[in-house]
Copies of this chain bind each other. A is one copy, B any other.
């Protein structure tokens, strides 16, 4: 396929390897693998998960839940504190599928009691010190009262405690990720035990971020894992040591439109509306909007040394590179950007092509 404008390519072999590896680890640990589909948003890529035995998934919006329901998925957790304004659509979903909802307040539970028309699974969103949202894991009083109230409502099937350990993204390396996972498990098991003493004997535990799910092998202390980003990985995960570069399964192909040899810069057609605007700060205080590779075979090669996306504006990407590369590359050539945050790049592009030029869909509503 001739690349004439920014195109997001997916290396299917790498995606399949990433899925197989995570599915195998979950199986080995005897936990449910409930991957988060917010990264790829694609019914086509969803099929690749089905081939690996995946039947239960996670999403983060009603739009996504509807889309994957339409595409045959029947067991979906909407892992976002329930948005009561969307109750009509939630009710329709709950009629059709095994729907899991997240709550973190008595107000939300009261609302569901009055307005929900079909039974749903209920998870309580727990804050294991990431502090984005959720009830703090140590707040036994609030938690036990909320669980009791949930159990009193027939339509609400209490399942357990769900956390997103997003602070793993602040880790510097594998060791720190392992420490965060260990810390999370200690907290979850502690509150689970205390709830057990209060008579709640079947509290399941669900964890989910890609860094911990990639680095940890044994998940036997929890009941399910919900990683999402691992399907593609990206430069953030690479910097965290959660993946190798050869695991990164998406790259944005961009035409070269200008060169500035005096400052070793190449200008690409490919900017914030294609890549999104995530950034990574490195230890040496430099930052980048992406790594850069040249075409190789049907896809892209290893990322170029001393070459990175220095800045982006709406449609421009400015590459800082070496005198050797700038001499080699011509106007009209194609360069590949390995994205900082693949979830947002996929969302910006809303379409993929495999290296065999097969178009893969993306749910446009999300």
Contacts and interface: CB of A to CB of B under 8 A. Distances in A.
Contact of A331 (B108, B257, B258, B277): B108
Nearest to A260: B133
Given A111-B332, A132-B318, A133-B316, A83 B257 contact: yes
Interface residues of A, number: 55
**Copies of the protein in its oligomer:** 2
A269 B38 contact: no
A134 B255 CA distance: 17
Given A259-B105, A315-B61, A84 B331 contact: yes
Contacts of A60: 314-315
Interface of A: 2-5, 38, 60-63, 80-86, 89, 104-105, 107-108, 111, 131-134, 166, 255, 257-260, 263, 267, 269, 272-273, 276-278, 311, 313-316, 318, 330-332, 343-344, 347-348, 364, 366
Contacts of A276: 272, 276-277
10 contacts: A4-B89, A38-B314, A80-B257, A105-B259, A108-B331, A111-B331, A132-B267, A132-B313, A132-B316, A133-B260
A165 to B, nearest CB: 13
B105 A258 contact: yes
B332 A84 contact: yes
